[in-house]
Structure 1
Amino acid sequence: MSEAQQRAWAEVSPRMLIPVERDAASTSIREGSTIDPAAVWGRTAPLVVEIGSGQGHAIVHGASARPDANFLAIEVFRAGLARTMLDADRAGLTNLRLVEGNAPEVLEYLLPSASVDELWVFFPDPWHKKKHTKRRLVTTEFAALAASVLRPDGVLRLATDWQDYADQMRSVMDAAPGVVRAFEGEWAERYEGRVLTAFERKGVRAGREIRDLTYRRTP
């Protein structure tokens, strides 16, 4: 981490980073360590969660634009979390919290059932080599976890610049119980609340189509 990131980690993490109980791995979440969102944020408000928040550009932008909502960034890379905290602190945000942890375990163990209003998965690692595609995040198991944490009528937003991953996402989510498409046609419209990040610019420069998908939790 840079000196500024190290300083942010030391000074800002006590009030922004959610402390969690670990299992065997350093980024694992111990079963039974569920949080109370109202206690964590000090208020009851819509909860928006981003999986794989990276450097935090999307979620810092979202939290700045929607001060009436609570935001949670999930990331395994500490440098990315530190950068997110640095930018959030500079912006004076009080509605953003972060957790260092594996996303599926955060969904399964940390977040209460039916507690999330929006779940974001923007440009997850495509693992584009054929031998690595089994490592992709969006699977049947993930779809079940996502549905379990979304409130009735809660929204799952996905985006990728890899066509075969977009096809996989759509196939998985179309077949998932508990969620339905919230778009017409082949692909959803670009989510207007998603700030243009370096990942998206890189995909566009490479000539790849950006694919959005939106699903809604059934009542």
Structure 2
Amino acid sequence: MAPGRGVVSFVHRGGRMTHGQDHAWRQHWAEFGMALTREPGTPLDLPGWFGRTAPVILEIGSGMGESTAALAAAAPDVDHLAVEVYQPGLAQLLMRIRDNELGNLRLIRGDAVRVLQECLGPETLDGIRVYFSDPWPKRKHHKRRLIQPEFVALAASRLRPGGTLHLATDWENYAEQMLEVCQAEPALRNTHTDWTPRPDWRPLTKFEQRAVIEGRVVRDLIYERVSP
């Protein structure tokens, strides 16, 4: 099934925002965030939004923003674009932007597939990161997993030559699917024989720490966009 049609890879989670999150949302969303309500065919003006021309990395599923903010702080010369559907998580990330004065981070609330299809043109991005996306463990739900051939082909088309697609998961079966799907995409090249050793620069989040404590092996994959 083509990405963005019929099956979605996420659940619209509810949840009330804390007082701090609500305040951050009201004060900072208009400056740093955007809801995905744009008309198709109008790509984002990334240099205009960030106020400069710089490499851009897209993170899909930023959650509560712990890793996203740390990565943005560690690479001030790179612009970071985070896509998430969970409003309290985005609000929490706005708090991190405010507290750490992160001028190189912007947020989009909406479906990442639509963002890639409608907001970002070919060869726009220098990197795409998908860390711990929902594994949909039941076999009947595997079709909802984000990492499918159609999605990977779309993601690869948005990367500049030399740009990277970085995946990480703590679910063994999903990791094997990721490897199989990415290996079959002709526009991508595995930067290692199979699994990538865990990069020291990828922050160790509370979620990943819990996965390790519970005995789940975390696997990384980094693929590079080859020249057309």
State TM-score, norm by structure 2: 0.90
Q: Which of residues 208, 219, 222 is equivalent to 1:211?
A: 219
User: CA-to-partner distance for each residue in 1:167-205, whole Å, 9 max, x for gaps?
Assistant: 000000000121111112x31111222111122112101
Distance 2:125 2:182 in 1: 17
1:99 aligns with 2:108: yes
Is 1:170 paired with 2:186? no
CA-based RMSD: 1.1
Q: In the alignment, is the contact (CA less than 8 A) between 2:35 and 2:110 conserved in 1? A: no
Give the Cα–Cα distance (whole angstroms) in 1 for the partners of residues 169 and 99 of structure 2.
29
Counterpart for residue 31 of structure 2 = 15
Alignment correspondent of 1:4: 20
Aligned to 2:13: none
Q: In the TM superposition, what is the alpha-carbon distance from 1:21 to its structure 2 partner?
A: 2.5
> How many pairs are equivalent?
211
Verify: 1:200 aligned to 2:216, yes or no: no
Q: Which whole-Å deviations, capped at 9, do the CAs of 1:145-170 have from their partners, x for residues lacking one?
A: 11111011101100000000000000
SS of aligned partner of 2:93 = helix
Judge conservation of contact 2:36–2:115 (CA < 8 Å) in 1.
no
Does the alignment pair 1:83 with 2:92? yes
1:131-153 residue CA offsets vs partner (Å, 9 max, x unmatched): 21111000011111111110111
State the distance in 2 between where 1:192 and 1:97 align.
Answer: 24
1:141 aligns with 2:137: no
Cα distance in 1 for partners of 2:92, 2:219 equals 27
Check whether the contact 1:20–1:33 (CA below 8 A) recurs between aligned residues. Answer: no
Q: C-alpha displacement at 1:18, in angstroms? A: 2.6
Paired residue type of 1:56: G
SS at match of 1:58: helix
Query: Residues 85-127 of structure 1, C-alpha deviation per residue, up to 9 Å, x if partnerless?
Result: 1111110111100000101111111112111111100010111
CA contact (8 A) 1:36 1:112 kept: no
Q: What letter matches 1:9 in structure 2?
A: W
Unaligned 5+ segments in structure 2 are: 1-16
Which letter maps to 2:61? G
Listed as ranges, the gaps of 5+ residues in structure 1 are 23-29
Whichever residue aligns with residue 53 of structure 1, its letter is: S
CA contact (8 A) 1:157 1:214 kept: yes
Distance 1:131 1:20, change over 3 A: closer
Partner of 1:120: 129
Distance between the aligned counterparts of 1:177 and 1:199, measured in 2?
Answer: 32
